[in-house]
Structure 1
Amino acid sequence: MAQHIIPGAPPITVVLRPSSRARRISLRVSRLDGKVTLTVPRGVSAAQALGFAEEKQDWLRQQLAKQPAQVPIALGAQVPVAGRERVIVAGTGRSVVLGQETLAVPGKPEQVARRVQTYLKDLARHRLSEAVDHYAMRLGKAPSRMTLRDTRSRWGSCSSAGALMFSWRLVMAAPDVLDYVAAHEVAHLQEMNHSQAFWDVVMRLHGPYEGPRRWLRTDGQVLHRYRFEDRG
């Protein structure tokens, strides 16, 4: 996919995405990272599509201005762990240490982002494994496996083979949010749909869930503003 810069204050980077399925030119601004995608249908030239984007540049800048600021992970930055902001400070020894207000990270400053990401992934695996085991025991059904990813479009999933997948960024959210997503995906081991029967299972496993479900819909994207070395 080609990139194009619309000059101005600030300039806008637009990614052109040719599509044989699209029926019209469309613009999309990602709520996660502010990426601007210009979809170009078959038979429409890149110049014509870019002209459309340039006509919409005021709207694009308005949308981009609404994006939460990106937070590069480094010493002095703040990162949420279990819903509580922690200041990243230099640590000693070999292990990352979670405190009430801080996250102490040993090693060289240029290694901080990678070490924080590794720590959060390990913590997410531990806490999600506990939550999944708890709800699976209550349900009487066990998943075939559990994996973690850095997904953009979903917080978790359950395959027809009973394999669960979660975003490791859930460990940055409040514990009730992580617990809700774990219960949601475990419930799919019994109901592979979103019928009333499914939501009845979620209620039985987790209890009231509207609070964390609403938070994910309205505020969940803020967890993607923290920038590490990769999105693995």
Structure 2
Amino acid sequence: MFEYQLKESTRRRSIAIKVTDNGIIVYAPKGLEKKWLHEWLMSKHSWVLAQQQKVPAVPVVQTPWHSQTLLVFGETYACFFGPEYPSKLCHSNRIVHVCVINPDDTKACRAALLSLLRIELESYVMGVLPVLAEKMDAQVSQVKFREYKSRWGSCTSNRALAFNTLLIGAKPSYIDYVIIHELAHCHVLAHNPEFWQLVFKYYGEYKDVVKWFREKGATLFITKEV
């Protein structure tokens, strides 16, 4: 028998099983006889195993202060923390130096690293965005850079854009897609056919990039477990 988390509700009238990368959740009406529920779940054992095999493995997020590596523009860079050098990305040698007084203080390491990555991403985006904005006839009121938990960019109704600092780990062409995506929102806020037609006009292979972010985007995250 498989392990599962049971969630009961007085509003529910039927049983449902949800298989996720964090485990199995069973939804059932409150007060349902446990023996009957156990037997019913046993009958679904083969189905649950099949669904578990379909669940993609959770990508391992980055821990640069332990692994001493970091993704930058889709490439693996060596990453070092310490007071010896100023914070700097050296693209020719693929090395990241992060200046921190105590390299064992992972909270300080993470904060200093994100600050450096934000500056690097801002430099790239602000070099590309004006050209794309002019091409797409998109008027942008503001651009911000910050870390997000579950989005790569955003666009408000007054055309203020924001980009996830962790985008710096993606290939430049993938970052370009996110920029185009948000600039398209300057014309169409909804993800409707008109919006995707506009994205396609300026990034024909957008479906491949959307799939990559959905399946592998989490590999760009940097752990917060410090």
When the two structures are superposed, what TM-score results if normalisation uses the length of structure 2? Answer: 0.68
* Residue number in structure 2 paired with 1:97: 89
1:73–1:228 CA contact under 8 A, matched in 2: no
Shift of 1:75: 5.1
Shift of 1:210: 3.9
* Residue number in structure 1 paired with 2:210: 213
> Which string of whole-angstrom CA distances, capped at 9 and with x for unpartnered residues, describes residues 20-55 of structure 1?
98775554535xxxx55848678469x99xx87xx8
Secondary structure of the structure 2 residue equivalent to 1:161: coil
1:200 to 194, 197, 202: 197
Q: Given the superposition, is the C-alpha separation of residues 37 and 161 from structure 1 closer, same or farther in structure 2, using an over 3 Å criterion?
A: farther
2:69–2:76 CA contact under 8 A, matched in 1: yes
After TM superposition, the structure 1 = structure 2 runs for residues 35-184 of structure 1, keeping only pairs within 5 Å, are: 35-36=22-23, 38=25, 43=30, 66-74=57-65, 76-90=67-81, 92-99=84-91, 100-107=93-100, 108-109=102-103, 110=105, 111-147=108-144, 148-152=146-150, 154-184=151-181
Counterpart amino acid of 2:75? R
1:227 to 219, 223, 226: 223
Shift of 1:191: 2.1
Between the aligned partners of 2:154 and 2:205, the Cα distance in structure 1 is 20
Secondary structure of the structure 2 residue equivalent to 1:191: coil
When the two structures are superposed, what TM-score results if normalisation uses the length of structure 1? Answer: 0.67
Shift of 1:219: 2.2
RMSD in angstroms over aligned alpha carbons?
A: 3.9
Counterpart amino acid of 1:176? S
Structure 1 unpaired stretches of 5+: 1-5, 7-13
Shift of 1:186: 0.3
Quote the sequence identity (%): 21
Residues paired across the two proteins, number: 209
1:149–1:165 CA contact under 8 A, matched in 2: no
Secondary structure of the structure 1 residue equivalent to 2:157: coil
